[in-house]
Amino acid sequence: MSDTTHAARRRRPYLLFLLVLVLVAGAGTAAWRLLRGGEEKDARAVAVDAFLDAWASGDAQAAGRATSDPAKAAARLGALAKDLPGTRFELRRGEHIGAADGGRYAFRVTLHLKGGERFSYDSAAPLTKTGDDWRVTWSPAVVHPRLTDGSKLAATSESRRAEILAADGTPLGGLAPALVGAPGKSGLNYRYEKQLAGRPATGVAIVGTSTGRTLATLHTSKGAGGTPVRTTLDIPVQKAAEAALRGLSKNAALVAVRPSTGEIVAAADNPPTGTNRALRGQYPPGSDFKVVTAAALIGGGMGTSTPTPCPKYETVNGQRFENQDLFQLPTGATFADDFAHSCNTGIIALRDRLTPRSLTDTAKAFGIGQSWDVGAVTYDGSVPVTTSANDQAAAMIGQGRVQASPLVMASVAATVKDGTFRQPVLVPDAVKRRAKAPTELEPAVASQLRTLMRAVVTEGSGKALRGMPGEPGAKTGTAEYGDESPPRTHAWFIGYRGDLAFAVLIEDGGSGGKDAGPVAAAFLKGQR
């Protein structure tokens, strides 16, 4: 028995040694497994970081290569730049979630939206091992948990755009389209874009890829509605102007101004969309400019009853000027007769009564050549100092280098009617400083001009208005342009009735009295 016990005692150290060896070996295995597990976890994090870094930097191809489906991932991530224009992505990796053999990493997405707004949400990147490498398991849900193959993220913008108003506060709607223009692109809509658009409510939504229909709104910022732009346009007058031009086959414009205030009450163009000829057109004004010439002559002391022959031709240094259709007036014609019938030759024959600066200085009394602040883009006319007798002759009948817009010529008529130049205004709230004439018409000169313009209607080439109530005054104009022989002509007709002055222009339109006159008559009849 004692021998067994020994034997047993002798075996105990051996057994203890074996036990220690087993424990040490086991501990080593556990330690190895723990270290290996850390390496696996780091490799997964590296894979996710590579994906997130490439996505954030806008490198869709590199981000795609870090996933299980490079082509689809690159296409989807590349499209984000178009779907969310102006957006910067900030991506932060979070904690590992799930099983040790893959699992997923949470990450936070912060969108820095165009306009300064920020929007954040949480997503996750599942992991797949391919060979020795870890990759993000691709699906649209990686971009946002609610995305599918049939949906995508999209930027949203909702704007409460204000309207452009008439003088009475009524929206202009479809009136004056060439003047009003397209939102953000042209005309008043372009000039006052910030005021009209306000601050849109922007955001992010999930939309159908094929339909574009909003499936879920993820974020919306607070916007601010726009502020209306009030103009001086008078809706009935504007409608009458547009109706008068409707049906013309030529480019044309009609502008109307209140002589007592300078308010632009109508600005119509034909065709109605496109070029704003009414305010911005640049044309030789032709015989309509004889109003300014008459003011210069009368201001220089010439009477309207001064004998002024009107032959077919007037030659200046070898250059022949002639009347339309080579008409002439009978012997005994006066300056008033020449003005009423728009005689070029008789007016040009008076050129020695004027200095090279006479027309330029007189034009300033009508505001021509000043810098107008109307509240819209305008062409404000040009009457250069003449440099020769021929230049003077051409300028006296609104040819040569003299240029004006329909608005300028409507203002000329308004200045005659009121006796004072009042710079036209379209958007009063936007006007900082109205131009003033450095010199004003003498009351006696303005009175004689009104008499002359009234005679154009009662006795001369403005017969289209003859018999109309309100004693309208007018001046017809036929302006030559181009190099053809015979020259092509623009048709002009300016005038006033009551507290309404106007100008009609028809490009390549023939004669002022015959072609533009009936348009003016239709416009005035539309005021009844």
On the question of pLDDT at 26 being above 60, the answer is: no
**Both tokens of residue 313?**
């031709």
Query: Average pLDDT, whole number, for the chain?
Result: 92
The answer to whether 132 touches 191, Cβ cutoff 8 Å, is no
Q: What percent of the chain has pLDDT over 70?
A: 92
Higher pLDDT, 59 or 42: 59
- How far apart, in whole angstroms, are the C-alpha atoms of residue 307 and residue 270? 41
Say whether 235-525 and 36-147 share the same fold. no
**Cα dihedral angle (505, 510, 516, 522), rounded to 10 degrees?**
-120
- Summarised one tens digit per residue, pLDDT across range 304-330 is 999 999 999 999 999 999 999 999 999
pLDDT at residue 77 greater than cutoff 80: yes
For 149-202, the pLDDT digits (tens) are: 999 999 998 888 999 999 999 999 999 999 999 999 999 999 999 999 998 888
Q: Which CATH superfamily is domain 235-525 in?
A: DD-peptidase/beta-lactamase superfamily (3.40.710.10)
pTM: 0.78
How many Cα atoms sit within 13 Å of 372 on the Cβ side?
A: 30
pLDDT of residue 30: 34
pLDDT at 281: 98
pLDDT band at 20 (very low <50, low <70, confident <90, very high): very low
HSE at residue 341, side-chain half, CA atoms within 13 A, is 21
Give me 80's structure tokens. Answer: 């984000």
Whether 485 has a pLDDT exceeding 90, the answer reads no
Instruction: Tell me, rounded to whole angstroms, the distance of Cα 478 from its chain centroid.
Output: 33
- Give 508's DSSP letter: T
User: Would you tell me the crossing angle of helices 358-365 and 389-396 to the nearest 10 degrees?
Assistant: 30
* Residue 18 pLDDT > 60: no
pLDDT band at 99 (very low <50, low <70, confident <90, very high): confident
How many whole angstroms separate alpha carbon 403 and alpha carbon 109? 61
Handedness of CA 209, 212, 217, 220 (dihedral sign): positive
Q: Is the separation of the CB atoms in 300 and 358 below 8 Å?
A: yes
Confidence of residue 40 (pLDDT cuts 50, 70, 90): low
Domain at 36-147: CATH architecture: Roll (3.10)
* Mean pLDDT lowest among 21-25, 271-275, 305-309, 372-376: 21-25
3-state secondary structure of 52: helix
Strands 151-158 and 201-208: antiparallel
Strand 500-506 to 319-322 pairing? unpaired
Q: Over the stretch 353-395, which tens digit does the pLDDT of each residue have? A: 999 999 999 999 999 999 999 999 999 999 999 999 999 999 9
Residue 102: partners with Cβ closer than 8 Å, 6 or more residues away: 44, 126, 127, 128, 129, 134
CA 468 vs. chain centroid, Å, equals 40
Residue-wise pLDDT tens digits, 280-307 = 999 999 999 999 999 999 999 999 999 9
pLDDT digits (tens, 9 = 90+) for 121-142: 999 999 999 888 999 999 999 9
- Tell me the mean pLDDT in the region 478-498: 95
Residue 15 in this model has a pLDDT that exceeds 70: no
- Tokens at residue 261, please? 């205030």
DSSP for residue 487: P
Angle in degrees, 0-180, between the axes of helices 290-299 and 406-418, rounded to the nearest 10: 40
Specify the pLDDT at position 173: 93
Question: What is the arithmetic mean of pLDDT over 63-81?
Answer: 97
Give the Cα separation of 418 and 7 in Å (integer): 140
Structure confidence at residue 10 as a pLDDT band (50, 70, 90): very low
The first and second tokens of residue 117, run together, are: 């707004």
Q: Structural domain boundaries of the chain?
A: 36-147, 164-229, 235-525
pLDDT at 1: 40
Q: What are the tens digits of pLDDT across the range 202-255?
A: 899 999 999 999 999 999 988 888 999 999 999 999 999 999 999 999 999 999
Determine the pLDDT at residue 39: 53
Give the pLDDT confidence score for residue 222 in this predicted structure.
84
Q: Which residue has the higher pLDDT, 121 or 20?
A: 121
C-alpha 393: how far from its chain's center?
Answer: 40
In whole angstroms, what is the distance from residue 431 CA to residue 45 CA? 63
